[in-house]
Amino acid sequence: MKLLSTAQPEPIGMAEHEGGLQWITLSSFAPDPDGMAAYEELLAQLDAMGPRLTAANAIVLDLRGNKGGSSSWSEKIAQRLWGEDAVAWARAQYFRETEVWYLADEANMSHFGGLVPDLKKRGLTDIADWADEKYKSMQAASAKGQRFYKEPYGQDLFDRSRPAEPRKLPPVYVITHGGCASACLDAVDLFTMFDNVKLIGAPTSADTNYLEIRRQQLPSGRGSVILPTKIWVNRPRSPGEVYHPDILVTDLDWTTETFRGHILRDLARRQDES
């Protein structure tokens, strides 16, 4: 009996594959130092692509193995593909009714404040700035006697964006899998805001509206619990909602060759129908 391939995810990066496919591998949004260097190289490649990107037969965004991390990575990729202004405007429209509530208690503030020096040490200055802003905002809310810092997420996005048309791209295929959760789901949210995008693979995982976890030791010292630090309010994707692929891949072997075959066949069908 042939078993499902359990090969390790491919490294972060981009390559041109047979059939004119620009293949972008996004196997983690929680990269180690080598992974962060790979992302910097990938972003530089995308910046330098120019017309070659739009001339491809298709673009593949490969999320195999991605279990989440920081949503900033998918946003940076999307900005290089569809344009920074277009991404900002698409997100503002998508999240127009959304708020994010952070519990403004001592444990949460200590957690976010403690993240800042470590993130800066790891070179993640943009995420460190985000954590510092949340820390200070929770402090201000607590000082006013408020239990939550209620971030006007959608309104802030609108205030920082303006209408913009996305770059015209060839068909985009996003490879999804059952372990796609957290920031991986955020990436699917973002990529599917644009036209001519198909999901291929398996149904994703799902999450709740209670996210951005931290660990807290039990008073006994014999264990710890995982606690959410924020609540999404009026998030468009419902808690427990799963993304189902447009092209379901039931092959036992989930190699790149397998996916390339499915994508090339779908491109051929598109050509026949046009």
Instruction: Inform me whether the pLDDT recorded for 4 exceeds 70.
Output: no
pLDDT at 14: 96
Cα 63–Cα 261–Cα 81 angle in degrees, nearest 5: 45
Nearest Cα to 74, choosing from 153, 165, 8, 12? Answer: 12
SS3 content of the chain, % helix, strand, coil (to 5): 40, 20, 40
Instruction: Inform me whether the pLDDT recorded for 204 exceeds 70.
Output: yes
Q: 214-225: per-residue pLDDT in tens?
A: 998 999 989 999
Provide the pLDDT confidence category of residue 173 given band limits of 50, 70 and 90. Answer: very high
Query: Is 3.30.70.920 the CATH number for 1-83+166-206+242-274?
Result: no
DSSP string, 126-148: HHHHHHHHHHHHHHHHHHTT-SE
pLDDT at 8: 63
Give pTM, 2 decimals.
0.89
Nearest Cα to 97, choosing from 273, 233, 274, 240? Answer: 233
**CA–CA gap between residue 256 and residue 234 (Å, rounded):** 37
Provide the pLDDT confidence category of residue 239 given band limits of 50, 70 and 90. Answer: very high
Instruction: Give me the residue spans of the domains in the chain.
Output: 1-83+166-206+242-274, 96-161+208-237
What residues contact 197, with CB distance under 8 A and at least 6 apart?
Answer: 171, 172, 173, 174, 191
Q: 61-92: per-residue pLDDT in tens?
A: 999 999 999 999 999 999 999 999 999 999 99
Computed over every residue of the chain, the mean pLDDT equals: 93
